[in-house]
Amino acid sequence: IAGGAVPSRAQLKAIQNNTASEVYSADKVLLGRYYIQDRTNIRYDDIAPTAIDALIATEDVRFYEHGGVDTRSLGRVFVKTLLMGQESSGGGSTLSQQLAKNLFPRKGRRIWEMPINKMREIIIARKLESIYSKQELLELYLNTVPMGGNLYGIERASRRFFNTTADSLKTEQAAVLIGMLKATTSYNPRLYPERSLQRRNVVLNQMARYSYLTPQQADSLKNIPLKLNYRYITHNDGMAPYFREQLRQELVQWAATQRKQNGQPYNLYTDGLKIYTTIDSRMQQHGEQALR
């Protein structure tokens, strides 16, 4: 979307996140992934309910009540931030407005462009609310949200920081990831564990404040130490890296000659292809061990 233009309803209906393509062995083991943005899109039902609760309690407690714009929050921001100068008063953007900003990033960041950007995001947010259900918006948001670097979405964040899937997140783990949304670098649990722990506990307090947890549950969870199972897998990690590189070159050529339903050629790095090969992961593992 060029300049400050607002996307049409047709464009909003056709939203599709860039998704990594995955390479599988003959015995259905994931060998590796090709991507520009490290993202795996998942359905709403594949997200732990506790992550949804943490998100709403922390970012947009009236999410189910508004139509894209929370006038109470906007009023608070105007009075406390603009008139009283309290920078810690919190933001006025709803999840729908944040989603609009994630999908269609701001073009200009100069001070006089802020009102235009905000108004554009409000218009897009209202359009999104008229097209998608609340569950669909939450699904889109948690698949779209940046989690630092080229990492996107709660599924890949769950796998990187806790070596688990988004539907298996524990409450304290979900609180860490949702806490990162405020500042993905400052609250990165690997880089700044103490800061991340404090932010996690803020999220747990918010969940208790809005009755997603009892005060006793929140206190118990806050006593759990921050425990990561960090796994950062690069393009060269995993089995059969030379095989996958040769395959990548062939797939790039294949994708350029194959057309999607809209007439556009496939893109190996963004279209979420599933590639099934004849290689056997068990035999490959034995071979690599023997070579070492």
pLDDT in tens, 218-274: 999 999 999 999 988 776 777 899 999 999 999 999 999 999 988 999 999 999 999
> Could you report the per-residue pLDDT of 64-114, keeping only the tens digit for each?
999 999 887 666 555 554 555 443 334 578 999 999 999 988 766 666 677
Average pLDDT value for residue range 178-182: 96
**pLDDT at position 88:** 38
Average pLDDT value for residue range 196-206: 98
Q: Is the pTM of this model over 0.85?
A: no
44: left (phi over 0), alpha (psi -120 to 50) or beta: alpha
Phi, psi angles (nearest 5°) of residue 83: -90, -40
**pLDDT at position 233:** 73
> If you ran DSSP here, which 8-state letter would residue 151 be given?
B
Average pLDDT value for residue range 184-192: 96
**pLDDT at position 60:** 96
Q: Mind giving me the DSSP string for 22-91?
A: EEE-TTS-EEEEE-SSB-----GGGS-HHHHHHHHHHH-TTTTTSSS--HHHHHHIIIIIIIS--GGG--
Rounded distance between C-alpha atoms, residue 288 and residue 285, angstroms: 5
